[in-house]
Amino acid sequence: MAGEGLEAVTVEDRQQADAAAAASAPSNGAEPCAIGSPPFVASKPAPTQSYGWRPPVATYAALDLGTNNCRLLIARPAQHGFRVVDAFSRIVRLGEGLSASGRLADPAMDRAVEALKICKSKMSQRGVTRARLVTTEACRAATNGLDFVRRVADEADLDLEIVDQRTEASLAVTGCAALADPAAEGVIVFDIGGGSTEIVWMGGRSQARDPAGRIREWASLPIGVVSVAERYGGVDVGRELFERMVSDCSDALAPFASRAAAANDAAGFHLLGTSGTVTTVAGIHLGLPRYDRRMVDGLWMEESEILTVIDQLVEMDYAARSANACIGRERADLVLAGCAIFEAIRRAFPSRKVRIADRGLREGILLRMMHEDRAWWRRKQA
């Protein structure tokens, strides 16, 4: 259930799994509020794009093309937050084979371009007035990442921005920081992606809307669900192999864990996770017949509950994982890689409870653009 004391605003829930448009119900827990300038980022506004006729109320779009997913969120300002008017999500596996070849494969780029064309159509239909379209680890790491960006501009008429690791971590924190317990003096925020994992130590109590002042340490780890699954295989994963995965993820995490060790001793310390991995674990824990964001976003999970779900997943074979409504066939070979990263973080930062966030990078992009445009102030003046 949602924690008490967080500021509730009127951001509306995006539809199930971002698969379709126009969310209409409030989510479980407080939604992100208006914030000040975020950490790590230069003061000038980030590159954005404009589309079509400008309606009386500005319409914003945030697109995140990751190593595994292409996800779009379109929203309009609403009090201190926003109301989602359209959404799109598709697994494209842009980073498929990248760890072995160092390049984006032609079939992967084809899938991504087709998804991006759909996003372009949605933005045009919704009269988007400002957009920020980012791509992350796959394009950062690939030798042909810039070639792919140019192809997207030519074929989909979209200007992708390859964001650096600091910006990615910053945006993820901006998008989900409102779910941190305001009384906690230490929070580890993590976002398990397809090609990398962003992790941030937020120290001190929350005394302002801007989480920037709480950042103590951050890191972008070279481990993600796709890269780990490709290294170890994601279909046949028993207990022994899973523990090897956790061990290697722990090695990658160790330098950050050393720098952020003091977080463990902070009053009210807890973990805050945002990713398909943690939301899947939450959905399975709740026994959902199909994934429901309203039940998951803002959920608190106990350590024992998380361990129970991970143990269940390790015992499942590939067919059972594929049949689970909260996982599905397209993610059945990735979920245990994500759980290995999750478990490595939990072991480095033992916490009695973990807050689950079904929000992150895209929400951070939207909030930042609206803040730069003083969108909430303009609504009050209208």
CATH code matching the domain that covers 16-166, chosen among 3.30.43.10, 3.40.50.2020, 3.30.420.40, 3.40.1190.10: 3.30.420.40
Of residues 28 and 316, more confidence is placed in 316
CA-based R_g, the chain, Å: 19
Q: Give Cα separations from 148 to 90, 156, 165 (angstroms).
A: 18, 11, 19
Q: Where are the domains of the chain?
A: 16-166, 181-357
pLDDT band at 208 (very low <50, low <70, confident <90, very high): low
> Rounded CA gap, 363 and 211, in Å?
14
pLDDT at 381 over 80: no
- Tokens in use for 228? 């780990």
pLDDT of residue 376: 75
Of residues 9 and 237, more confidence is placed in 237
Closest of 127, 130, 57 to residue 378, by C-alpha: 57
Angle, vertex CA 69, rays to CA 369 and CA 117, nearest 5 = 75
What would the pLDDT profile of 230-259 be if each residue is shown by its tens digit? 999 999 999 999 999 999 999 999 999 999
* Mean pLDDT across 357-380: 87
Calculate the average pLDDT of the chain: 86
Percent helix, strand, coil in the chain, to 5, is: 45, 20, 35
User: May I ask the CATH class of domain 181-357?
Assistant: alpha beta
pLDDT band at 97 (very low <50, low <70, confident <90, very high): very high
pLDDT of residue 30: 35
Buried b (16+ CB within 10 A) or exposed e, 357-367: bbbbbbbbbbb
Intrachain domains 16-166 and 181-357 with the same fold:
yes
* Mean pLDDT across 92-118: 97
Buried b (16+ CB within 10 A) or exposed e, 60-97: bbbbbbbbbbbbbbbbbbbebbbbbbbbbbbbbbbbbe
Share of the chain above pLDDT 90, in %: 75
pLDDT at 6 over 50: no
> Rounded CA gap, 376 and 47, in Å?
21
* Mean pLDDT across 189-204: 94
pLDDT of residue 81: 86
pLDDT of residue 209: 61
User: In whole angstroms, what separates CA 55 from the centre of its chain?
Assistant: 29
* Mean pLDDT across 116-140: 97
What would the pLDDT profile of 135-179 be if each residue is shown by its tens digit? 999 999 999 999 999 999 999 999 999 999 999 998 999 999 999
CB-based contacts of 36: which residues, under 8 Å, 6+ apart?
A: 208, 209, 210, 212, 371
Q: Give Cα separations from 74 to 29, 46, 108, 332 (angstroms).
A: 20, 18, 25, 28
